[in-house]
Copies of this chain bind each other. A is one copy, B any other.
Amino acid sequence: MPAQAIIREVGLRDGLQSIAAVMPTAHKLEWLRQAHAAGQREIEVGSFVPARLLPQLADTAELVAYAKTLPGLVTSVLVPNLKGAERAIESGADLMLLPLSASHAHSLANLRKTPDEVVEEIGRIRAARDASGSRMVLEVGMSTAFGCTLQGRVEPAEVLRLLQAVLDAGADRVSLADTVGYADPAMVHSLFEAAFALVGDKLACGHFHDTRGMGMANVYAALQTGMTRFDACLAGIGGCPHAPGASGNVASEDLAYMFASMGIQTGIDFDKLMALRGQVAGWLEGESLHGSLWRAGLPKTMRPAAATA
């Protein structure tokens, strides 16, 4: 097991985009402030998509501006295409995440582009970034890497081909996402191992959903292959639209607890994170929240020293 791991908070983006109600900007700023105070140092604050498509994330530029005032925070944003990337570069965020669906069917349905057309767009985004003089990191998130609700099976060989293609096109790094909760730990172990063998430390993050109860097992399987950065959402928000009511992303607080229990440092202060969870739960009253730790509490064996490790 590694000595340290990073929990990248994606609740403000992946979480909130799946919730119809628009969270007021003031609440998001408070969330950001408290997440930073709780020790979270990588946070995805929103997405540069047209506001008419995702009104929930229309205030992303404002959030980036505030996030930049928080010391040591790596601020990331999602961008769907070159236009979004240009806005991201302008915003001054540290990292832009461009999703590429390894499933042809999902890619066409979501972006109206084939995966290889997205690879070409990545080349244009890289060129735009370089031309702007920005040092923003360009990460490509390989979504539906473990299967797809439209297409069903996604071949690992195709995922690996696309990982190499996006790096060749100019991405700085890549990540693997189980977008719809199809992965099991054996699949995760196998694909992460193959991806590490292919692209080495350019494989930067694992993104798992707990849709079918395997989120934590999948994180553990990826950890064993050497992955040390994981996306997660506070309160496990971010459900899959294809499985109504099902759990969403791995819950940040559950992940923080698992890592602390295994002696892996995350820099997260539990009491502060759980207090923030309580506040966010209040703001999201009526929404379906997930995660286990908030209900069960920390075990007696986790002393404050270990919990805040």
- CB neighbours of A245 from chain B (8 A): 295
Nearest chain B residue, comparing its CB with the CB of A215:
B213
Q: With A182-B301, A184-B262, A246-B296 as known contacts, state yes or no: A212 contacts B1, CB within 8 Å.
A: no
Q: Which of B212, B217, B293, B299 contacts A182 (CB 8 A)?
A: B299
What 12 additional pairs, Cβ within 8 angstroms, besides A186-B261, A213-B251, A213-B258? A1-B186, A148-B300, A153-B301, A182-B299, A182-B301, A185-B220, A186-B263, A213-B291, A216-B216, A216-B217, A217-B217, A243-B297
Nearest chain B residue, comparing its CB with the CB of A264:
B186
Q: With A186-B263, A292-B212 as known contacts, state yes or no: A147 contacts B300, CB within 8 Å.
A: yes
- CB neighbours of A293 from chain B (8 A): 212-213
Q: How far is the CA of A257 from the CA of B210 in the complex (A)?
A: 14
- CB neighbours of A186 from chain B (8 A): 1, 261-263
How far, in Å, is A168 (CB) from chain B's closest CB?
29
Q: With A243-B295, A254-B212, A295-B246 as known contacts, state yes or no: A184 contacts B301, CB within 8 Å.
A: no
Interface range, A side:
35 or more
Is the CB of A152 closer than 8 A to any CB of chain B? Answer: yes
Q: How far is the CA of A216 from the CA of B208 in the complex (A)?
A: 14
User: Is the beta-carbon distance between B258 and A214 smaller than 8 angstroms?
Assistant: yes
Is the CB of A141 closer than 8 A to any CB of chain B? Answer: no
A-B contact pairs, 15 of them (CB 8 A): A147-B301, A149-B300, A152-B299, A152-B300, A182-B299, A185-B220, A185-B262, A186-B262, A210-B213, A210-B292, A211-B296, A212-B293, A213-B293, A214-B258, A245-B295
Q: Which of B1, B149, B211, B291 contacts A292 (CB 8 A)?
A: B211
